[in-house]
Amino acid sequence: MIRPGLHALLSHWLRHPFQLVTLMLGLAAATALWSGVQAINAEARASYDAAEGTLSGNGRETLGPVEDGPLDMGLFVSLRRAGWQVSPVIEGQLDASSDALRIIGVDVFTLPPGDLPEAATERGGRSSFLEPPGELLVSPAAFEALRDAEGLPPRVAVEGIAAGVAYADLGTAQRLLDREGEIDRLIVTGPPSLTAPPLSKIAPELERRGPAGAGDIARLTDSFHLNLTAFGLLSFAVGLFIVRGAIGLAFEQRRGVFRTLRALGLDARTLLALLVGELLVLALVAGAIGVTIGYVIATLLLPDVAATLRGLYGADVEGALSLRPIWWLAGLGIAVLGTALAASGALWKIAHLPLLAPAQPRAWARASARAMRWQALAAAALLVIALLLGAFGGGLVAGFVMLGALLVGAALILPIVLDGVLSTLARFARNVLPQWFLADTRQQLPGLSLALMALLLALSANIGVGTMVNSFRATFTGWLDQRLASELYVTADTDAEARALRDWLATRTDAILPIRSVEADLAGAPGEVYGVADHPTYTENWPLIASDAGVWGRVAAGDAVLVNEQLARREDLWPGTTLNLPGWDAAPVAGVYSDYGNPLGQVLVGLDRFETLYPDAPDRQFGVRVAPERVDALRRELDEAFDLSAQAVTDQSEIKQFSLRVFERTFTVTAALNVLTLSVAALAILTSLLTLATMRQPQLAPVWALGLTRARLARFEIARAVLLAALTFAAAIPVGLVLAWVLLSVINVEAFGWKIPMQLFPRDWLWLGLLSLAAAILAALVPAIRLARMPPSDLLKVFANER
Amino acid sequence: MLHVWNLTKSYAGTDAPVPVLRGIDLTLDAGRTLALTGDSGSGKSTLLHLIGGLDTADEGAIAIDGVDITALGDRDRARLRRGTVGVVFQQFNLIPSLDVAANIAFQARLAGKPDAAWIATLTERLGLEPHQSKYPEQLSGGQQQRVAIGRTLAARPRLVLADEPMGNLDEESGAHVLSLMLELVSETGAALLVVTHSASLAGRMERRLHLRSGQIAP
């Protein structure tokens, strides 16, 4: 019984391979977009884990110099002899090929095994690692990148090492960094012996430092990944619309077969079991295809994501993707879950299929007024939830729930809105053909509604994200011009060099603006305090978004401070409030400035007051004001007069270009996902139209018989797709703008702490509108051409089969 | 082999249930043929569906080979349709994605008793040999009805039910297909119950019952 039943069910796909392709494509696309994004997230998180595991003192106390500078190796020996359990570390940058490599030199004999990746610990015990020329333990990606590097010891690829990091034996690292006999710090690997003298006695030049806050990077980048996940979910939802449409149509077309099978003796439970089995196999196959495509998408996008995370947060993520088994399983799981979700309605209908009901082709499509009412109610409820969350909700999760409710609510209400618009248009139609055209379009709506909802989601996301990116770009560019007012930025290596540089520059430039800062606890979170000179560079350019009268005078006089937007929003610090700074309680806040891209709270204090409060703050960095045409010459002269490293002098345009490049890459990922989502939606329309076309004959044949040519009917089919796409696009504009508002004013503020003024870009909408119309025309073209070329005998069959 | 006692069936109406069958009694022995005639709405198709286990009665009993099918659950009624009863539908109800050969063999395979020789005989006798690899949409109405008859008889049912079997065929094709069906049914020894409007078709059955307003007309 099962074999013939299965044979009958599966034979449908052999006779309708296109439908099978549609179903597989939808499911594969949905899985691909979802698992691609998840793969990127998983890879980034794995990199953070590796980075946290990097031996940098995280998780353990360290002993470091009270004053900046290297430590003598002899200290390590003295401490060990005195009963202190410590392990020496030296760390430094090495320019290897095009990328900087951070060398970490360790002593494997005193370092606990768990402090290095497992494979590294095992490798570290070998004589080849310990004896000259030594070895560098690097990640597999770095191993490839350094394949042709010269002047380095042999490299060994080891899993679990962070990108851009190389472990070496202490001696090897000292030699490579040209710092024989020096170390940077000592890791405390256990409690000192009971007889060990206190640190202040045995090594007063050292101080104990607590473990660094592990997971900082993960916390900082959480919102970025949340954005990606949300986009992945949206893409998955768009894909599911296709799957749901394809399953619904495939089931509807086989409704007669199901009924016949039941009439011939296949019981309902077996039929359902066979259908579930069939869907499971399809989901697994399509899921596997989707995961593979997702892997390709992730591989293509990961370098941009890595660059973004590095630029924004300094988080190192390997630019190459490794395939993880859990990722395969999750991808297949989500494909099966998606199919179950998409098929649940159709399966429920089959379970309750009346055996004797007359065959009603497209009965599924003629949604009853009651079902429509339920849909409208659900949409209204979701939109009210979105509204309430917008008004009273707080936090990132509430922001995303609001976003979800808004999008799904808008999608659900779309068919009802379109039906209303078409019925209104029909009232104004005077001629018979427009009347028929509009009535026929309304009749097609239920069959196309899933695809149109998918299109609405894709277009809204495009408009929303596009508006956010462009608003951000416009604001960010202007902000960079304001913030980077100095023509050159110079950083000295030592205090003496800084003094010499300042003296040298004093006669050759218009102004030298010190950039001095200290790290400080600001309202319970890590932050930074900067000293700011009283100079028109700041007073005329600094991007203030809120300020008291005479703000700059008060700051210069040391009576008030400026805070950045993220600190202001987080702690509700606006002009008129006060803030506790180290050494200055209740410092009055006189203004707030925008500070995009900075995850930390920041405070500006007048330079004189800053020097009083923090006299030990380094004074090695400064901005230089000079006529723009003098910049190149001054750089050359600086190079000749001082032996400065390449990074010591940066000109304004370089920083701007770098910042804009980081910024552009930040949004490359979302832009790519935007295009992919829109493509998936266009595919949804194409597949829906093609499948509907096979069921259109009974509706079109009478109109053809009454005197409309096939070519004209085909043109009507294209016009219908264009009309529906245009109406959907019109509906997507307000939805997209609300989405942009939520992203800019809710999500961004919650995630990053700053708010971007929203700007409108109608020219982009026009372009997107044309694109969606072109997609609709392309999608309608194939069924229209088929109709135009359909032999009259096929149309006549409709009448021949009439009872 | 078929006994029907006091069979009653109503459908939900706007205000009150609408009675379709009111206390039907009938019998049909193995190897015999019976025509059920009546006007549209007289309840003949409903009676056929109840006997075929496609629908359930409100009251009364239907015994096929001594088994009261009104007491059976959905799974057992499905088993009955697979093996004991065969239905020939007016709309043929072929499986469009299977070719002629697969369609004919289908019910026999479903019942777990495919007899290749018998199926080949049926195919030949029904004149479908040249069309075996065609799909239903490529056949004429008469050919499709012959496939439907072949599919039903391939499982060697004890009772064949036919609902307006010639309703979609012209007179000549109808007469030809009917002769074939009667011949083959008689060879299998099955009982045949045909629902029809056609007086000529009814005239070729051994017995004839007329339904009027849900009751057997005297």
B94 and A12: CB-CB below 8 Å? no
CB-nearest partner of B49 from A5, A269, A356: A356
CB-nearest partner of B54 from A269, A356, A359: A356
Give the count of Cβ contacts less than 8 A between chain A and B. Answer: 75
Q: Which residues of B touch A267 (CB under 8 A)?
A: 74-75, 78-79
CB-nearest partner of A257 from B91, B95, B109: B95
Quick check: A117 and A161 in contact, CB under 8 A?
A: yes
- The token duo for A340 is 């179950």
What's the CA gap between A175 and A431, in Å, rounded?
A: 90
Which strands make up the sheet holding B67-68, listed edge to edge?
A: B18-28, B2-11, B59-64, B67-68
What's the CA gap between A328 and A334, in Å, rounded?
A: 10
Q: Which of A13, A260, A278, A797 is the best substitution to test chain B (most B C-beta atoms within 10 A)?
A: A260
* Interface predicted TM-score (ipTM) of this complex, two decimals: 0.76
What's the CA gap between A562 and A10, in Å, rounded?
A: 71
- Three-point CA angle A30, A34, A39, nearest 5°: 145
A749 Cβ contact partners less than 8 Å away, ≥ 6 residues apart: A569, A755
- Three-point CA angle A283, A289, A291, nearest 5°: 95
Q: Which residues of A touch B54 (CB under 8 A)?
A: 263, 355-356
Nearest-10 Cα torsion for B2, B6, B12, B13: 120
A291 Cβ contact partners less than 8 Å away, ≥ 6 residues apart: A31, A32, A35, A327, A328, A331, A332, A335
A298 Cβ contact partners less than 8 Å away, ≥ 6 residues apart: A35, A36, A37, A39, A40, A43, A321
Q: Which residues of A touch B79 (CB under 8 A)?
A: 265, 267
Q: What is each CA distance from A150 to A97, A99, A450, A709, in whole angstroms?
A: 8, 13, 59, 75
CB-nearest partner of A260 from B80, B93, B102: B93
- Which residues of chain B are at the A interface, by a Cβ-Cβ cutoff of 8 Å? 49, 52, 54-55, 74-75, 78-83, 87, 89, 91, 93-98, 102, 106-107, 109-112, 135, 151, 168
Amino acid at A560: A
* Predicted model pTM: 0.63
For the segment A702-759, what is each residue's pLDDT rounded down to a tens digit? Answer: 778 777 788 888 999 899 989 998 999 999 999 999 988 888 888 777 777 777 788 8
A1 and B110: CB-CB below 8 Å? yes
What's the CA gap between A93 and A178, in Å, rounded?
A: 11
Chain B: give the shortest CA distance to residue A263, in Å: 7
Domain ranges of chain A: 1-56+222-364, 58-211, 488-625
Q: What is the DSSP letter of A745?
A: I
A265 vs B: CB within 8 A? yes
Alpha helices in A743-791 (DSSP H): 748-751, 762-788
Closest CA to B125 of B167, B97, B154: B154
Q: Please list, residue by residue across A706-715, b when 16 or more beta carbons sit within 10 angstroms of its beta carbon and e when fewer do.
A: eebebeebbb
pLDDT of A311: 58
For the segment A558-600, what is each residue's pLDDT rounded down to a tens digit? Answer: 999 999 888 898 888 899 999 998 888 889 999 998 887 677 7
Chunked into runs of 10 residues, chain A (803 residues) has average pLDDT values of 85 82 80 78 66 51 74 87 88 65 83 69 74 83 78 81 79 87 84 81 76 46 62 70 73 81 86 91 90 85 70 58 73 85 82 62 49 86 90 79 88 92 88 83 81 84 82 76 78 81 86 86 84 84 84 91 89 90 90 80 90 86 85 82 70 72 65 72 71 72 77 90 92 92 82 78 87 85 87 69 43
Closest residue in B to A262 (Cα) is B78
Q: Which residues of A touch B78 (CB under 8 A)?
A: 262, 265-268
A711 Cβ contact partners less than 8 Å away, ≥ 6 residues apart: A788
What's the CA gap between A635 and A637, in Å, rounded?
A: 5
Q: What is each CA distance from A251 to A547, A585, A710, A758, in whole angstroms?
A: 64, 71, 29, 46
A216: burial class by Cβ within 10 Å (0-12, 13-18, 19+)?
Answer: middle
> Which position has the higher pLDDT, B163 or B167?
B163
| Cβ neighbours around B186 below 10 Å, total | 13
User: Which three-class secondary structure string do you get for A482-495?
Assistant: HHCCCCEEEECCCH
Q: Which residues of B touch A3 (CB under 8 A)?
A: 109
Q: Which of A20-24, B11-15, B76-80, B168-172 has the highest mean pLDDT?
A: B76-80
Sign of torsion over alpha carbons B76, B79, B84, B88: positive
Determine the topology of domain B30-54+75-216 in CATH: Rossmann fold (3.40.50)
Chain B: give the shortest CA distance to residue A376, in Å: 28
User: Which three-class secondary structure string do you get for A543-596?
Assistant: CEEEECCCHHHHHHCCCCEEEEHHHHHHHCCCCCCEEEECCEEEEEEEEEECCC
Q: Which of B56, B80, B93 is the best substitution to test chain A (most A C-beta atoms within 10 A)?
A: B93
Closest residue in A to B79 (Cα) is A265
> Which position has the higher pLDDT, B171 or B194?
B194
B82 and A257: CB-CB below 8 Å? no
Closest CA to A141 of A123, A157, A119, A122: A157
Q: Which residues of B touch A16 (CB under 8 A)?
A: 97
Quick check: A469 and A663 in contact, CB under 8 A?
A: no
